[in-house]
Chains A and B, each alone.
Chain A
Amino acid sequence: MAETTGQFSAIWRLVTSERRRYVLAFGALLVGTLLIYLIPLVPQAVLDVALGSEPEKASGISRTVIDWMGGPQLVADQLWIPGLLIGVIAICAGTCVHFRQRFAAIAAQNIAVKLRSRIYDHVQRLPCRTMERQESGDLLQRCTSDVDTVVLFLSEQMMMIGRATAMILVPLPLLFAIDWRMSLVSMTLMTPIAMFSFIFFKRMRENFLEKDRAEGRLTATVNENLNGIRVVRSFARQSFEEERFDDRNATHRDLDNRLYVLMSRFWSLSDLLCFAQQGLVLGFGLWWLTQGSLEVGAFYFFISAVSMFLWPVRMSGRILAELGKALVAIGRISEILDKPVESEPEHPVEPEQLDGSLTFEGVHLNHGDLPVLAGMDFTIAPGETVALVGPAGSGKTTIVDLLLRLHDVDEGRILLGDVPIDRMRRDFIRSRIAVVMQQPFLYSRSIGDNIAITQPGLEQDAIETAAIEACIHESIRTFDQGYETVVGERGLTLSGGQRQRVAIARALVQRPSILVLDDALSAVDTHTEADILEAIERRRGRHTTILIAHRLSTLQKADRVLVIEEGRITQEGRHADLIRQDGLYRRIWAIQGGREGGAA
């Protein structure tokens, strides 16, 4: 809870922690820019002073440069000297550019590595509630491409801003010292060019966002089509799908094309404006040249200088657009970092061992205004096997979430042994309770690694023992690479039943105090189910078992059944007792064939 404010500045703090490198980078930038403008100064001096017919008319700077090289005579005789000087300046300027980029890159990449890890850490510790409210695609984008945007800004665009500013400001004194009239002429169209650039990149950005959204819709369409390919085929809706795709595809094409149209306008018009600017320099320069009030060397200098600073002026709009993008990305990342993470008790109690008993005392939980649990009271003894049954939405899975502290109760309390769970650390609770969900999540790595995920380095024997108990060993052996087969997102797709059984093996490896199977056998056939339950039965006494299930064959394996309806326990007892009572359990039993079993 302590980390709720000032995350925006947390990113800023990351930047300032690299401030020494940024200062060095900016220093190198300034020196480098100055050196770059010195290069055309050398030919200017040579043309006007050493080779010129009227050296006395040359600017003071030109004469200083020539004097520095050893005087007009020497330079005129030994023309390799200015050539070499240009080479030396170029090497120094190049070195500055190198260091500018080097320092900026080191700083930015250091920040990047810290920022990425920090976000990853934060996201992992966000409460489930927060995660459920986040659209996962959006969250992923904040964690990845938004970070990329920020890093790109810190490593390149920030220096680009500095460079553009320096390119325009640094030469000003030099220009004015050489010829103030030409300086003014050189800058006539700067403002219109910059404004044009700014307006264009703003519009470009709006259009780009629109194209981006169209691309997103296009991707979503393909994705949905492929995920639902069985549905498409079984209704033979290919042409319908093709039409739908074509529609989006065409929209995307047109929006993309609009970007090109905008670009073509910008580049041609800004080319024209830049030419006009260069034309002005050329025209006035030539005019003053014929009047004898401008030297040819100085004229050369202005032609070179204008072409050097026109580029940053022309790109200024783009730089501002990138700045805007980076600020938005920083804001979006900060929103994630601002969300509070799961809190831990200040003085956690850590019992040596849990005996596997648990108690719910008057537990209430609301989801919005709707009550999910409305006064849940029950106790489970150590080593007991208890089944939970009830209609969808009755609150069975919520009980598991509360037990793991994925959610917190609104009212009442939950005890493990005799300790309230909010007095214990979450990682302690979670290491003692193993849960297998109906649609288990497997990590994209080998099956062996998945089973041993809580105990890295577990021996192969132990992994296989768990797999045998979960009745998945035989299936794994048929895979090409056995336990080394990669599953999940980037590997083999397992069937629902196979996934459930791998997850059961994973849970068994954990050696928990409490084992929860949350409808975790729904995709497994009854025969296999019986084998798995038998294996669990053999471990009796080592842990408490909670079975959430619809099937009678599962339910009757339990010592006790809790019937849950609308967030409350409505019936409780052994299978044999419950089928004699009027109620949900008997109805389920009757529907599933109990009557034919002989009772009716």
Chain B
Amino acid sequence: MSTHFYSDDERSGSIDLRLWWNFLRHLKPYRRWAFAMCGFGFALAIVESLIPPLTGWMIDEAITNGATEDLLMMGIAFAVMMVFFALFVWIFILSAGRLATGVAYDLRKGCFERLQELPFSFFDVRPTGWLVSRVTSDCSKVSDRMPWVLLDLFWGSTMLVGICTAMMLIDTGLALWTMAIVPPLVIATWFFKRKMLASSRNMRRTNSAITASFSESIAGVRTTKSLNREARNLEEFGTMAGEMHAHSMRNALQAAVFLPIVAMLGSMGVGLALWQGGIRLEEGTGLSIGMLIAFMEYAILFSMPIQELAARLADLQSAQAAAERVQGLLEEVPEIRDGEEVTIRIEEQATRPRPGRASDGGDPEVDTLEYRGIGFHYKPEEPVLDDFNLRISKGETIALVGPTGGGKSTIANLAARFYEPITGKLLINGVDYRERSLEWWQSQFGIVQQVPHLFSGSIRENIRYGRLAASDEEVEDAARRAGAHDFIERLDGGYEHDVGEGGELLSTGQRQLVSLARALLADPQVFIMDEATSSIDTETETLIQGAIDEILGGRISFVIAHRLSTIRHADRILFIADGRIVESGTHESLLEAGGRYAELCAGQFTASDS
């Protein structure tokens, strides 16, 4: 396992207070719940730290005065306090829940909406799985912990202060003796929690490597078998499982030392209180037996808030990387978006619609599309397009052919504004497309890809994605025209047949037909077929040639294909190599010219052979 582009590593650095402070603004809509939670946590801590001396007082009262009315009253008060205690617990968990789930919802929504706006260049360099965990696990990691961190900060510190104050008020000397366990407790907690944080981080990292390894063995089962990789894979997996063993053992042993130490320190506090308190009791310095018992209870109680505080700080630290990533995603500014002017025009059109206009108030028809002096690259050192010029009118079909990596798909991607040109302009009816609404422009497109993506759900739903308002008849009509109807009818459940995740239950060819139907239904003004028929067998392709001609006709169309049978009917064929148009013309004229296109045809049509 060498370098990973995007790993889920948590950093072990210190807590970044500014990041968390900024994060607090996500609590704003829920501030009432946050205040309620903290307030009740505070009240709870006060009640909890008052229990031991109250119990002690009652014992003293019982011993010295017997069953007095005071004792009874105190008992009743105690009972009432407990009812309130339970009530507080109820309210603060309820508030914590509202807070945690509400913030999680908002963060997810924010992330998802941001992902809908970001350009493809953002997705090109980030694996999908990595992005998915940003929206799902990172968001819940942060939101699940925030309320408890807040709560325990209040509860824990109040509790600590409360216990110390109460002890000091009862007997300062004995309080200092009992509190002798606090420094070692704090040191042990700090020391071990840090170590355990590191080892559990290693555990999680190894665990995700193990998951990845299983996932690979399942996805690549045929390859593994055909390459006889089983033994070596198992060996590598064994190493990983061994690593997991080592990390888990380290973590478990750390816990096996830490937890007994905490318990031990508590008991030692009891011993200290008994020793020093007993002496005071004998000397009759004013310490009562009930208060001595209260001190012994405090000694046990001490470790609770300290441990909770330490655990929350560790949580904060381990959620920090997640918080940073979520924040980073939320703050990501889409490079491609509507300019201010365009936004204003969209609003104007929405409030005072002018009939016969597009949503941004512009011309709704696309008559011409022009590439003017376009330069583009994904990486600066590798230019893809350089001073590219092309003008296409409505009704024209342009075929793009040429070697892999020559820039064919880039030309189409630029048209759809999935990327924007680095130099030069793209003009719609003579207007720079940056001056038009992004949403309007992109909804004018129909794109069929080489490996088309379908959404899980029925075939009907997938075709209807092209036009959400389409009726069942229209859906079926589109399928018929795309040549998909026959195979759909033969499937189990016909149009209701589930296509599986990403369409995996259909063959690539079937998916291409469905996506063709989807595009037909959308009836777009600009159409792009990117290797769209590569997996449809030649005969079927001929069958749907009529549908393809219909799709391509009456609008601006781009066809990218390796198979020449798909493109020879195009109005213009452009041979693209090294980001330039090398040859341009009709099939016949290019063949006659005898250039690179003709050479390509010779390879495929075997003209010389027959």
Asked if B349 is an interface residue, CB under 8 A from chain A, the answer is no
Q: How far is the CB of B209 from chain A (nearest CB, A)?
A: 10
Say which residue of A131, A271, A592 sits within 8 Å of B604 (CB atoms): A592
Name the one of B252, B272, B281 contacting A101, with C-beta atoms under 8 angstroms: B252
Which B residues, 1 to 49, have Cβ-Cβ distances below 8 Å to chain A? Answer: 1-7
Taking a contact as CB atoms under 8 Å apart, the answer to whether B86 and A269 are in contact is yes
Contact partner, A391, options B213, B216, B539, Cβ 8 Å: B539
B443 contacts chain A at the CB level, 8 A cutoff: yes
> B471 at the A/B interface (Cβ < 8 Å)?
no
A136 at the binding interface (Cβ < 8 Å): yes
Within 8 Å of chain B (Cβ to Cβ): is A89? yes
How would residues 133 to 174 of chain A score, 1 for a CB under 8 Å from any chain B CB and 0 otherwise?
000100110011000100000010000000000000000000
A497 to chain B, nearest CB (A): 6
- Whether B219 contacts A224 by the Cβ 8 Å rule is no
Q: Does A6 contact B (CB under 8 A)?
A: no
Does B592 touch A at the CB level, under 8 Å? Answer: no
Task: State how many angstroms separate the Cβ of A559 from the closest Cβ of chain B.
Answer: 15
Cβ–Cβ < 8 Å partners of A526 in chain B: 562, 600, 603-604
- Is A553 in the interface zone, CB < 8 Å from B? yes
Q: A440 vs B212: C-alpha distance in the bound complex, in angstroms?
A: 18
Q: Is B271 an interface residue (CB 8 A)?
A: yes
Docked pose: A475 CA to B405 CA in angstroms: 10
Q: Give the residue of B108, B281, B465, B601 whose beta carbon is less than 8 angstroms from that of A593.
A: B601
Q: What 0/1 pattern do residues 427 to 454 of B give for CB contact below 8 A with A?
A: 0000000000001101101110111111
A261 and B94: CB pair below 8 A?
A: yes
A523 contacts B by Cβ under 8 Å: yes
Interface segment among A39-47, A194-202, A356-364, A379-387: the answer is A39-47
B245→A109 contact, CB < 8 A:
yes
Contact A89 B222 (CB under 8 A): no
Interface residues of chain A: helix, strand, loop or mixed (majority): helix
Interface string of A208-223 (1 = CB under 8 A from B): 0000000100111011
Task: For chain B, residues 261 to 279, give those with C-beta under 8 angstroms from any C-beta of chain A.
Answer: 261, 263-264, 267-268, 270-272, 274-276, 278-279
Asked whether B352 is an interface residue with its Cβ less than 8 Å from the other chain, the reply is no
Shortest B53–chain A CB gap in Å is: 14
B502 adjacent to A271 (CB under 8 Å): no
- CB contacts under 8 Å to B, within A429-478, are 430-431, 433-435, 437, 440-441, 443-446, 453-454, 456, 475, 478
Known contacts A105-B252, A279-B79, A593-B568; decide if A430 and B234 are in contact (CB<8 Å).
Answer: no
Say yes or no for A419: interface residue by CB 8 A criterion. no
With a CB–CB cut-off of 8 A, which chain A residues contact B78? 279, 282
Contact B94 A226 (CB under 8 A): no
Tell whether A89 pairs with B267 under 8 Å between CB atoms, given A120-B237, A219-B132, A289-B62.
Answer: yes
Closest to B588 in A: A596
Residues in B whose Cβ lies below 8 Å from that of A180: none
Give chain B nearest CB distance to A600 CB in angstroms: 9
A8-16, A56-64, A295-303 - the one binding chain B:
A295-303
B277 to chain A minimum Cβ distance, whole angstroms, is 9
Is there an interface contact between A120 and B217, defined as CB atoms closer than 8 Å? Answer: yes
Contact, CB under 8 Å: A95 / B260: yes
Interface stretch of the complex, out of B63-71, B477-485, B578-586? B63-71
What residues of chain B lie closer than 8 Å to A187, measured between beta carbons? none
Q: Are B237 and A117 in contact (CB under 8 A)?
A: yes
- Tell me if B241 and A113 are in contact (CB < 8 A): yes
Q: Which residue of A lies closest to B267 (CB)?
A: A90
Stretch at the interface among B96-104, B163-171, B386-394: B96-104
Residue of A nearest to B99 (CB): A260
B26 nearest CB across to chain A (Å)? 14
Instruction: Please state if A556 and B249 are interface contacts (CB–CB under 8 Å).
Output: no
B interface bracket (residues with beta carbon within 8 Å of A): 35 or more
Chain B residue at minimal CB-CB distance from A238: B116
**Stretch from B224-232, B315-323, B369-377 that touches the partner:** B224-232
A27 interface residue, CB < 8 Å from B?
A: no
Is B198 at the interface (CB under 8 A from chain A)?
A: no
Q: Which A residue's beta carbon lies closest to that of B406?
A: A525
How distant is the Cα of A241 from the Cα of B224 in the complex, in angstroms? 37
- The CA of A593 and the CA of B606, in the complex, are separated in Å by 9
Q: Which of B62, B219, B522, B609 is in CB contact (< 8 Å) with A235?
A: B522
Q: Which of B89, B109, B453 contacts A271 (CB 8 A)?
A: B89
The answer to whether A524 and B607 have CB atoms under 8 Å apart is no
Q: Which one of B123-131, B325-333, B360-368, B549-557 contacts A? A: B123-131
Interface segment, A79-87, A323-331, A345-353? A79-87
A489 pairs with B135, CB closer than 8 A: no
Interface centre among A102, A222, A250, A427 (most CB of B within 10 A): A222
CB-nearest residue of chain B relative to A401? Answer: B222
Complex partner residue of A263 from B93, B404, B531, B601, CB under 8 angstroms:
B93
Q: Which residues from chain B contact A185 at a C-beta distance below 8 Å?
A: none
| Cα-based distance from A450 to B364 in the complex (angstroms) | 51
List the A residue with the shortest CB-CB distance to B91.
A264
| Distance in Å: Cβ of B49 to nearest Cβ of chain A | 15
| A496 and B450 contact, Cβ closer than 8 Å, known pairs A43-B270, A435-B226 | yes
Contact B127 A275 (CB under 8 A): no
Is there an interface contact between A109 and B63, defined as CB atoms closer than 8 Å? no
Answer whether residue A229 sits at the interface, using C-beta atoms and an 8 A cutoff: yes
Q: Which of B227, B230, B540, B607 has the most CB atoms of chain A within a 10 A radius of its CB?
A: B227
Is A581 located at the chain interface by the 8 A CB criterion?
A: no
- Partner of A93 from the list B264, B279, B453, B528 (CB cut-off 8 Å) is B264
The yes or no answer to B207 lying at the interface (CB within 8 A) is yes
Is B267 touching A86 in the complex (CB atoms < 8 A)? yes
Contact B260 A98 (CB under 8 A): yes
The smallest C-beta distance from B46 to any residue of chain A, in angstroms, reads 16
Q: Say if the beta carbon of A4 comes within 8 Å of chain B.
A: no
Contact B97 A259 (CB under 8 A): yes
Q: Is A236 in the interface zone, CB < 8 Å from B? A: yes
A339 at the interface (CB under 8 A from B): no
The answer to the question of A527 belonging to the interface, with a C-beta cut-off of 8 Å to chain B, is: yes
Check B548 for interface membership: any CB of A closer than 8 A. Answer: no
Q: Out of A117, A131, A219, A290, which one reaches B241, CB within 8 Å?
A: A117
Of A121-129, A313-321, A409-417, A539-547, the one touching chain B: A121-129
Instruction: Give 6 pairs: A residue, B residue, CB < 8 Å, sorted on A.
Output: A79-B282, A112-B248, A120-B237, A131-B221, A253-B104, A282-B58
Beyond the given A263-B97, A392-B535, please list 13 additional residue pairs across the A-B interface where CB-CB is below 8 A: A43-B270, A76-B282, A83-B275, A87-B271, A102-B253, A123-B218, A126-B221, A226-B132, A268-B90, A391-B539, A406-B225, A591-B538, A592-B604
3 closest residue pairs by CB, A with B: A260-B97, A83-B275, A236-B443
